[in-house]
């Protein structure tokens, strides 16, 4: 779940921020407690002891938070300028005037979601959304938004510009949704060789990483476990569409910080969902090392296996202690399989780290066109 951090440059702007984000859902909102930042673009200390505004902005970019400024666009631009790097990874940035009349996405409108967030904010405060991206105002499809919505990794940054420019000039694109033949423009494939000659190469993100952890586990420990898990599964972070866990972990600071920093979706499910799930066609394709706990029975035989009508099963690495504590016998495996959905493969069973457990599931892939 993405977080929002907001700053106002005047007291009137701060009042607007408090009103706008009161009861905001589902993102967590962090409002900077200082309305005296208008002239503080050189990273100097604030009068009330808050961290320097430049450090505050830098942290927002590091954790890929949506950054909302209430004030003048020029101030916002000066503040974010040192941290702008790559349109595929920059934080979405939005500016609202202090009267709440206009909402302007100024950075990462498509992939980062600034345009869609601006529309949500405008609807909440009755403002005019000022959308300037060419495809939107031209009524053309935003290819990067479509890729993001379908969990497709953009393998060539300049491909978005090239493909969109062709559409904007009245041209057309040849689309190959599952592989490619010669001269296709937009190609979706897991095969790097197939992708290399495409104008806009897109690779599906097929893997969900389930995470369980002790309360208060650090971001560093989560990252170490995540990295080790990907290495065991033979995949990269670019192949992962989500980190997932149980609802009891939805506000876990270490997981939220890790997912924000790496711009990975974080999905959570209730104990009831995880323990009663039925995923059609689910199967276990890899059995991991003896580090994982064995399947055990403790009065919940129906919860041990995830079965489909044809008899394919996944044996979860259950823990009686975890079940008694959380109501879920295996958080990481069940969450990964739940996220992967129908046809899921449990490709890496539960791995034990220092206060963290992790597992990997692979999903079947379907495009929404």
Q: 3-state DSSP helix/strand/coil percent for the chain, to nearest 5?
A: 35, 20, 45
CA-to-CA distance for 18 and 96, rounded, in angstroms?
A: 13
| pLDDT per residue as tens digits for the range 309-320 | 344 567 888 888
Q: Which residue has the tokens 């197939």?
A: 194
Tokens linked to 283: 């199967």
Show Cβ contacts of residue 97 under 8 Å, excluding neighbours closer than 6 positions.
70, 71, 72
Q: Structural domain boundaries of the chain?
A: 4-132, 143-204, 207-362
CATH of 207-362, one of 1.25.40.10, 3.30.420.180, 3.30.465.10, 3.10.20.30: 3.30.420.180
* 168's tokens: 């904007």
- Whole-angstrom Cα distance, residue 209 to residue 279? 17
Distance of CA 146 to the CA centre of its chain: 15
In which residue are the tokens 């990907």 written? Answer: 230
Q: How confident is the model at residue 279 (pLDDT cuts 50, 70, 90)?
A: low
Q: Tell me: the pLDDT tens digits for 56-82?
A: 999 999 999 999 999 999 999 999 999
In the DSSP assignment, the letter for residue 288 is: -
CATH topology of domain 4-132: Rossmann fold (3.40.50)
Query: Which residues neighbour 306 within 8 Å (Cβ) at sequence distance 6 or greater?
Result: 277, 278, 279, 282, 313, 314, 316, 334, 337
For the stretch 7-58, pLDDT in tens is: 999 999 999 999 999 999 888 899 986 655 544 444 333 334 467 899 999 9
Q: Which helix (H) or strand (E) holds 120?
A: helix 114-125
Q: What is the pLDDT of residues 165-177, one digit of tens each?
A: 888 888 777 766 6
Q: Indicate whether 180 pLDDT > 70.
A: no
Give the mean pLDDT of 229-250.
96
Structure confidence at residue 185 (pLDDT): 80
Q: So what's the pLDDT on residue 40?
A: 46
Instruction: Lowest mean pLDDT of 14-18, 76-80, 179-183, 235-239, name the range.
Output: 179-183
Asked whether residue 303 carries a pLDDT value surpassing 50, the answer given is no
Return the top range by mean pLDDT from 163-177, 247-261, 270-284: 247-261
List all residues 6 or more positions away from 116 whose beta carbon is below 8 Å from its beta carbon: none
pLDDT at position 308, please? 43
Task: Judge if the upstream peptide bond of residue 26 is cis by omega within 30 degrees of 0.
Answer: yes
CA distance 335 to 357: 12
Task: For residues 203-225, give the mean pLDDT.
Answer: 96
CA-based nearest residue to 245, from 208, 216, 278: 208
């Amino acid at each position: 779940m993405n977080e929002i951090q907001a700053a106002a440059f005047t007291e009137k702007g701060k009042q607007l921020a408090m009103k706008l984000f009161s009861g905001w859902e589902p993102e967590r909102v962090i409002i900077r407690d200082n309305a005296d930042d208008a002239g503080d673009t050189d990273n100097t200390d604030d009068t009330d002891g808050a961290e320097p505004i430049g450090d505050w902005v830098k942290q927002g970019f590091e954790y890929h938070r949506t950054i909302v400024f209430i004030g003048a666009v020029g101030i916002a631009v000066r503040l974010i300028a040192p941290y702008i790097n790559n349109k595929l990874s920059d934080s979405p940035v939005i500016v609202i005037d202090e009267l709440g009349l206009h909402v302007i996405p100024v950075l990462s409108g498509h992939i980062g979601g600034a345009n869609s967030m601006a529309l949500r904010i405008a609807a909440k405060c009755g403002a005019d959304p000022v959308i300037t991206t060419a495809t939107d105002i031209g009524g053309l499809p935003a290819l990067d938004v479509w890729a993001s919505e379908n969990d497709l990794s953009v393998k060539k940054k300049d491909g978005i510009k090239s493909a969109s420019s062709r559409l904007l000039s009245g041209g057309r694109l040849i689309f190959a949704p599952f592989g490619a033949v010669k001269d296709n423009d937009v190609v979706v494939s897991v095969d790097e060789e197939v992708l290399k000659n495409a104008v806009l190469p897109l690779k599906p993100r097929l893997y969900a990483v389930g995470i369980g952890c002790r309360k208060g586990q650090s971001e560093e420990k989560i990252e170490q476990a995540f990295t080790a898990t990907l290495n065991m599964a033979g995949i990269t972070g670019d192949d992962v569409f989500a980190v997932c866990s149980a609802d009891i972990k939805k506000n876990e600071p270490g997981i939220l910080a890790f997912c924000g920093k790496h711009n990975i979706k974080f999905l959570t499910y209730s104990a009831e969902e995880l323990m009663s799930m039925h995923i059609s066609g689910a199967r276990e394709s890899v059995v991991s090392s003896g580090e994982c706990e064995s399947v055990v029975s403790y009065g919940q035989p129906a919860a041990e296996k995830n079965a489909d009508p044809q008899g394919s099963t996944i044996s979860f690495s259950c823990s009686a202690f975890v079940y008694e504590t959380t109501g879920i016998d295996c958080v990481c495996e069940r969450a990964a399989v739940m996220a992967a959905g129908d046809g899921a493969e449990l490709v890496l069973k539960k791995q034990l780290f220092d206060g963290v457990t992790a597992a990997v599931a692979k999903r079947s892939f379907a495009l929404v066109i």
